[in-house]
Amino acid sequence: MAIPPRQEHIDDKEVRFYVFAPASVKLALHQEAMQRGVEFWHLGGAVLASWIRAGCPDFEEKAQESAENGEVE
């Protein structure tokens, strides 16, 4: 079997997949989606897509520093 050639144009279809997160994160995402008037899955996908486009930055350090300094975000 030969390796298929690369395609010039590939359809970037929307797909649904599952991730693991604490229940509180899922609830917060549902609430935010309701406030924004969008579907839960679309908001989650938009957040992930934005994070990927930003180069997958690390946010944990900033959140941890804020917690240590007693700052509320």
Three-state SS annotation for 51-70: HHHCCCCCCHHHHHHHHHCC
The span from the CA of 26 to the CA of 18, in Å, is 12
Structure tokens at 47: 């957040």
For each of the chain's 73 residues, which pLDDT tens digit applies? Answer: 899 899 999 999 999 999 999 999 999 999 999 999 999 999 999 999 999 999 999 987 655 666 677 665 4
* Whether the predicted model's global pTM rises above the 0.85 cut: no
- Residues in CB range of 55: below 8 A, 6 or more apart: none
66: tokens are 């804020």
User: Taking the domains of the chain in order of start, what are their residue ranges?
Assistant: 23-57
| Beta strand extents in 12-60 (DSSP E only) | none
